[in-house]
C-alpha cells in the first residue's frame, strides 16, 4: 500500500520494535510484524497485532511493571 505519511513509499512486510507507555509503565516489544514504508519508515500494524500489544501493555500496567522488554513471539504464546 502507499504510505499515507510521506505519500511516496510503498509498505513492505517486515519486523519492528514498538514502545508503549501507559500510566508509568513502559513496555518495549521487539520483532513485531508490521508493514513498513520503504521511504520514510512509518510503521503500520494490523488490528490483531495492535490488540495483542495493547492487551499486554494493560496487563503490565495493572501488575505494576515499570519497564519490560519482550519479543512479540512471546506475546503470541501467552494468548
Question: Is residue 11's pLDDT more than 50?
Answer: yes
**In this predicted structure, what is the pLDDT of residue 24?**
86
| pTM > 0.85 | no
Q: What is the dihedral of CA 70, 75, 50, 29, to 10 degrees?
A: 10
25 φ, ψ (degrees, to nearest 5): -105, 135
**How far, in Å, CA of 48 to CA of 38, rounded?**
22
% residues pLDDT > 70 (the chain): 92
Number of Cβ within a 10 Å radius of residue 76 = 12
Amino acid at each position: 500500500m502507499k504510505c499515507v505519511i510521506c505519500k511516496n513509499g510503498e509498505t513492505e512486510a517486515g519486523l519492528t520494535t514498538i514502545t508503549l507507555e501507559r500510566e508509568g509503565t513502559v513496555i518495549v516489544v521487539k520483532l513485531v510484524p508490521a508493514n513498513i514504508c520503504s521511504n520514510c519508515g512509518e510503521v503500520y500494524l494490523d488490528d490483531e497485532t495492535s490488540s495483542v500489544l495493547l492487551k499486554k501493555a494493560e496487563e503490565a500496567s495493572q501488575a505494576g511493571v515499570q519497564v519490560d522488554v519482550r519479543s512479540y513471539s512471546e506475546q503470541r504464546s501467552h494468548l
